[in-house]
Every structure is written in C-alpha cells, then in structure tokens.
Amino acid sequence: MRLNRLHLILSVLVVSLLLASPAFATSVTMKYLGGTGSGIGGGAVYPYQFSINGSSTPTLLLCDSYDNDVRVNERWTATVTPFLQGIANSMFGPSMTLDYKAAGLIFKSMLAGTITATQANWAIWGLFSSNATSQSQFQTTGAGAIETQYLALAGTASNSAFNGLLLYTPNHATPGVGPQEFIGYSAVPEPGSLMLMGTGLIGLAGMLRRKFLKV
C-alpha cells in the first residue's frame, strides 16, 4: 500500500513537470488578423493582431523581419519559444544574437511606453534588414538612434532583462521567404523558473521516497 501511494505521488510530480515543459518550445497555428491602432505600444499601424490556435482573443505581436510578408487571414505554423532560447533556431540565426537582444530590449521599452510601436518596429527592422534602413521612415522615426542605443545596452544586459519575451518563428521560412517572425510577451514562467520547479519536484520526490521507506 505504501509503495502504491509513493508511486501515485511520484506520478503526479512527473506529470506536473511534463505539463510545464511545453513552455520551452511550442508549435502553434497563427492567423494574421491585421494591424491595430491601439494596444501595446500605441502605434499607428503596429502591433499586429493574431489568432493563436484559433483563439477568439487576439494576440498582439511585433515583427522583426522586414523583408518577409503576411496577408490578412493568412495561416501558418510557428514555433514559440522563450526569447533567448529561441534565438538558436530563429529566422536570422545565433550569429545575430546581439541584434536579437537589442530587439528584445526595444520591445520591452515599447511595452513600457518609452518609445512608440512604430519607432520600435522600424528600429527592430533595421537590425535585420538593409532594405528597412534605406526607407525614409527609418530616418523620420529616429530608428537609427534607437537601434544604436539598444545595441549598446544589449551587450551588457542580463538574461533576466528578457523575461516574458517570446519569439514566434515560422516553420520553414527564411529571410525574404515565407511569413514573418514575431516578438511577443507573456507573463509566464521562464526556463530558469521551470528548471527550478523541476529540481524542486525531484527533490520533493526523493524526500517522500525516503519517508515512505522508513515507515
């Protein structure tokens, strides 16, 4: 009886950890609903609205890939990962890690209301596309100065500065080909928190096992 109870408790702990693990990387279906003049950042066109996995509640995201394109009602599959983790398999790849970090900090500043969504999007586009930097909007929004400022900040930023950020990378897309890649935010446990929880669950399981064996 004691062993059966122990097995039940351990099973619950394992299932709990497995339920938490999808936060590391999740495949989702995205549907582009269009731009918005309100929401995060308060931009004139940005951020973009999406239905994720058929949800009726729009998710607001900002794209980082100027040379890619999406159409209203277009659907595709993307992999969602915590921001820093997602860079390894991102559209532009780990060689652009500093640029991704700058993009993440720009996005966070947009959320805080320090810069508008339009400024943020042009600055982020400029990090990854020379075509973006050649547009007049890149100059009129002051995106160049924002880009320079946040590249410097990205060089010394701690990992915790990117907590809550998510990267939506479209499957099988490349720069200039296929849907855009997007940055989003969700106040969910980060990988470090999940790892800590997993370690705690394992430790608790060990304590329970010893307790039951002594009884």
Whether residue 198 has pLDDT greater than 60: no
Give ∠ CA 53-76-93 in degrees, rounded to 5: 110
Query: Which pLDDT does position 213 carry in this prediction?
Result: 53
Tallying the residues shown for the chain, one arrives at 215
The secondary structure of residue 66, as a DSSP letter, is T
Q: Closest by alpha carbon to 92, among 147, 167, 12?
A: 167
d(CA 165, CA 94): 17
Using one digit for the tens of pLDDT, what is the confidence trace for 86-126?
A: 999 999 999 999 999 999 999 999 999 999 988 999 999 99
Q: How many other C-beta atoms are found inside a 10 Å radius of the C-beta of residue 117?
A: 26
Boundaries of domain holding 6: 2-214
d(CA 128, CA 25): 23
Using one digit for the tens of pLDDT, what is the confidence trace for 71-88?
A: 999 999 999 999 999 999
pTM above threshold 0.85: no
Domain total in the chain:
1
Q: Closest by alpha carbon to 127, among 83, 42, 178, 66?
A: 66
